[in-house]
Amino acid sequence: MSSQTQSSRFIPRLLLSPAVITLLIWMIVPLALTIYFSSIFYNLMQPDVTGFAGWMNYEFMITNPAFSEAIWNTLVLLAATVAITVIGGLGIALLINEAFPGRGIVRLLLISPFFVMPTVNALLWKHMMMNPIYGVLAQVWTFFGLTPINWLQDLPLFSIIIMISWQWLPFACLILMTSLQSMDREQLEAAEMDGANYWQKFRYMYLPHLARPISVVIMIEVIFLLSVFAEIFTTTAGGPGTQSTNLAYLIFNEALQAFDIGVASAGAVFAIILANIVAIFLIRIIGKNLEK
């Protein structure tokens, strides 16, 4: 019998090992190298300057005025997009929860932006929607007698938030909608019999039911939105100035445009720390909901 239990422990571990080992390598090797790079002088433009840099790279990164702005932009981008998509998605999900003519097609239309790759999303909005002269939004503004907005120039970060929200709203909406479909209809009807109004039903029945899917939506979005890159790269290139530079883009800039691997790696360490702070914060808050 003991050989039985041994093999019954051995096989699950064996099956688990490829995933664990590859992920471990994927995590540790880049992390170790990033930390190492961040502690040495490593600038491709100054190959003769080498050696241990101590905290120099970190100091250089922190004293860069763009740094604190990049962290701020990263967090604003994240918070705004999550808020827009969760609230908007919830509203739309509640709206299309009951049957109506053409619901299937409406679902299809709603989910489509989620499949659009970030580079296409960015170019589509930059050139065709937000162009201040020919763009669709400019036409709408002119139609209502308003002065068209030069989106990417005057509201760069907000413009990027619009693009990203456009992509992730369908995601939030469909997850929440799928979850609403699984609600107990009889309970809802009973509540209606008892004279519950829409707000009461929302507060005491829909919202508790949606707590878990909302947590999932937030978690997935945070993972993807902390490192938004393509949308910024293809539209504003972080500008004007550094107004739409997030941490990911700042590091990219430092590495591939200033060729300073050392400083960029120091930035990357900050990005990892920031991600972990957000992750801990997140798991604290929504972990409860996920474990149920």
Partner 1 sequence: MSQPKSKWTPGLIGRTAAAWFIALLLFFPLIFMGVTAFKTELQAIAVPSLWIFEPTLENFEIVNERSDYAQFAWNSVVTSVLSTALGLLIAAPAAYSMAFSPTKGTNGLLLWMLSTKFMPAVGALLPIYVIFQTLNLLDTKTALVIIFTMMNLPIMVWMLYTYFKDIPQEILEAARMDGASVWDEFKHVLLPLGIGGIASTGLLCLVLAWNEAFWALNLGAAEAGTLATMMVSYSSPEGLFWSKLSAASLMAIAPIVVLGWFSQKQLVQGLTFGAVK
| CB 108, min distance to partner 1, A | 6
Q: Out of 124, 155, 191, 205, point to the residue binding partner 1 (CB under 8 A).
A: 124
Q: Hey, what are 292's tokens? A: 């149920």
| CB 54, min distance to partner 1, A | 19
Give the separation between CA 80 and CA 99, rounded to whole angstroms. Answer: 31
Is 83 one of the binding residues for partner 1 (CB under 8 A)? no
Q: Which stretch binds partner 1 (CB under 8 A): 60-68, 79-87, 197-205, 274-282?
A: 274-282
Q: How many CB atoms lie within 10 A of CB 243?
A: 17
For the segment 5-24, give every residue that binds partner 1 (CB under 8 A).
8-9, 11-13, 15-16, 18-20, 22-23
Is 78 one of the binding residues for partner 1 (CB under 8 A)? no
| CB 53, min distance to partner 1, A | 15
Tell me the DSSP string of 209-245. HHHHHHHHHHHHHHHHHTT--HHHHHTTTT-STTTT-
Is 149 one of the binding residues for partner 1 (CB under 8 A)? no
Is 169 one of the binding residues for partner 1 (CB under 8 A)? yes
Is 278 one of the binding residues for partner 1 (CB under 8 A)? yes
Q: Out of 27, 49, 146, 285, point to the residue binding partner 1 (CB under 8 A).
A: 27
| CB 12, min distance to partner 1, A | 4
| CB 244, min distance to partner 1, A | 15
Residue 69's contacts (CB-CB under 8 Å, 6 or more residues apart) are: 242, 243, 245
Q: Hey, what are 267's tokens? A: 């930035």
Give the separation between CA 278 and CA 265, rounded to whole angstroms. Answer: 20
260 beta partners:
43
Q: How far apart are the first and last CA of the chain?
A: 35
Crossing angle between the packed helical segments 103-111 and 156-181, to the nearest 10 degrees:
140
Q: Out of 62, 109, 146, 190, point to the residue binding partner 1 (CB under 8 A).
A: 109
For the segment 175-234, give every residue that binds partner 1 (CB under 8 A).
175, 178-179, 182, 212-213, 215-216, 220, 223, 226-227, 229-230, 233-234
Give the separation between CA 167 and CA 114, rounded to whole angstroms. Answer: 5
| CB 190, min distance to partner 1, A | 17
Q: Which of 55, 51, 12 is nearest to 35 (CA)?
A: 55
Is 26 one of the binding residues for partner 1 (CB under 8 A)? yes
Q: Which stretch binds partner 1 (CB under 8 A): 59-67, 150-158, 163-171, 189-197?
A: 163-171
